[in-house]
A and B are shown apart, each in its own frame.
Chain A
Amino acid sequence: MSTESSVEKPAQRVAIKGASLRLGEGEEALEGCRCPDCGDTFYPPRTVCLSCYHEGLDRVALSRCGALHTFTIARMALPGAFVKAPYVIAQVQLPEGVIIPTVLDDVDPESVQIGMELEIVIEKAMSDAEGNDVMAFKFRPLKGGAA
């Protein structure tokens, strides 16, 4: 028993495995990579640029808004998933050119249309064994955006 364990620590916010998120100070966003040589941008983050093979890319916050590239309405949930059917699986294209696989939140599945403007929602998905808040993301229709 260390004395440290009795000290009340504020819950840390960590990204769920398989998602790259910029959390903490400032506006929260997806975190991707930008090549310092050619400027190409990637999500999820990677080490080697696929355009020019430069090694060592810069971590950058990605745009919080994008457009719906394509979608489907899943009528059955997979075992263990947090989402309840029906739900919308989507690919969102960000202005940087990357496509983000995600799900849509706060939307009537039947009203979803390719091209609709979306914004990211970052929220707690669960707690981990250390008591950290495990954060995940979805996209939802941009308030006041063109459908």
Chain B
Amino acid sequence: MSSRVVVLGVGLHPFGRHPDKSIGEMARVAGLAALKDAGVEYKDVQAGFCAHVNQGVGAGLRTFGQLGMTGIPVTNIELACASSSRAAMLSADAIANGLYDVVMVIGVEKMERGLLSGVGGKEFGYNDAMGINLMPAIYAMWAQRHMHLHGTKHEHFAKVSEKAHRNGALNPNAQYQKAISLEDVLTSRMIADPITLYECSPTTDGASAVILASEAVARKHTNAPVFLDTWVGGTPEYHRGEAEQAEGPNAVLAQKAYEAGGLGPEDVDVCQIHDAFSPGEVFLAEELGFCPEGEGGPFIWEGNTEIGGRIPINTDGGLLSRGHPIGATGGAMITELALQLRGDAGQRQVPDAKTALLHNAGIGGVNVMVLKR
């Protein structure tokens, strides 16, 4: 007998620049907030997953150890920018199959300044010599292709960032809490055409914590549970003759999630997607089925993804404005959607949101989730 899984508690350490704080300190703030939100104590937590990318050996102990030492298994999870959503999926797998009733995910990252470079070993090689390992360039090349095939304009991508910052201004946990104009986005420093500086997610320090519980245990603590209803993960698929590489099969995973969750894109009230760079939201509006292929640019330009629009995306500011401490990002996405579904999102609230979709991508995999109340 499998159990439904509830997002019982969520918490964040504010995202931003925190050079003087340890990951343990940030994890403690997020973790205590999540425990309080869930109404459980740390001794109730039966297993932990610490999601991070670059925090070294023993990060799980340095983070969970701040909350207590109860002897539970704590496992470190790395899936680049999608680490903490994958950790939540593994937690949900365990709860759904009756292994545990209460599992905690801590996502944490302290990042180095500068533009994140992509996959590569330590050895200096061709991609380093030629300057190819530039993360914005990967999105920029997808964007150029989209512009070529569909007539998408730079303004369409820039609109994503303008909207993200407007939402971020309403989020006390966001790295940037200041609205910027479309003009500001378009005229900020060009990084890799068509992507400007304000179309890149910043380097961020921060932590997120999510407590997942079986429905039976969750019902003891809440009368209005938010369910993690459906979760699917995947890696890029090879298809002969389709040489283009993607982070993962976004459209395929979304379709799987819709089928498993018994819903379609038209049923989604609020959504979190991976806007590491502004074109991401244009691509994903199409891949997640909110608009036809090739029409993501005008779809966003017309305001469909704003709070009050047809499908509000990244109501908390997204990676672009809330910030992107890579190991913590998936947990922050779950946090925002849980608040939205509870009606606790304050000025960012999407009225009567019942169904939410989450997409979190990292080098090496993509996760898609459906949350329901």
Contacts and interface: CB of A to CB of B under 8 A. Distances in A.
Interface of A: 16-19, 40, 50-51, 69-78, 80-83, 87, 89-91, 93, 97-99, 101-103, 114, 125-126, 136, 138
A74 B131 contact: yes
B142 interface: yes
A17 to B, nearest CB: 4
Contacts of B185: none
A70 B126 contact: no
A18 B127 contact: yes
Given A75-B192, A97-B243, A102 B132 contact: yes
A47 B281 CA distance: 36
A70 B191 CA distance: 16
A90 B144 CA distance: 11
A42 to B, nearest CB: 10
Contact of A93 (B130, B190, B243, B245): B243
Given A70-B144, A70-B148, A73-B193, A89 B124 contact: no
B244 interface: yes
A17 B125 CA distance: 5
B71 interface: no
Contact of A18 (B125, B142, B243, B244): B125
B190 A125 contact: no
Contacts of A126: 129
A15 B336 CA distance: 49
B129 A81 contact: yes
Interface in B190-242: 190-193, 195, 238, 240-241
B140 interface: yes
Contacts of B126: 16-19, 136
B141 A91 contact: yes
Interface string B326-355: 000000000000000000000000000000
Interface in B133-160: 133-134, 136-137, 140-145, 148
Given A80-B124, A83-B131, A89-B131, A69 B193 contact: no
Contact of B144 (A72, A80, A97): A72
Given A17-B123, A69-B244, A70-B142, A89 B129 contact: no
B189 interface: yes
B84 to A, nearest CB: 27
Nearest to B125: A18
11 contacts: A16-B126, A70-B145, A70-B148, A71-B144, A72-B144, A72-B195, A82-B131, A89-B141, A97-B243, A99-B244, A114-B144
A30 to B, nearest CB: 11
Interface in B89-134: 115, 117, 123-134
Contacts of A97: 240-241, 243
Given A70-B148, A72-B140, A73-B190, 18 more contacts: A16-B126, A17-B124, A18-B125, A70-B141, A71-B141, A72-B141, A74-B137, A78-B131, A80-B129, A81-B131, A89-B141, A89-B192, A91-B141, A97-B241, A114-B145, A114-B148, A126-B129, A136-B129
Contacts of A71: 141, 144
Q: 10 tightest A-B contacts by CB?
A: A18-B125, A81-B131, A72-B140, A18-B126, A17-B125, A19-B126, A99-B243, A50-B238, A70-B145, A72-B192
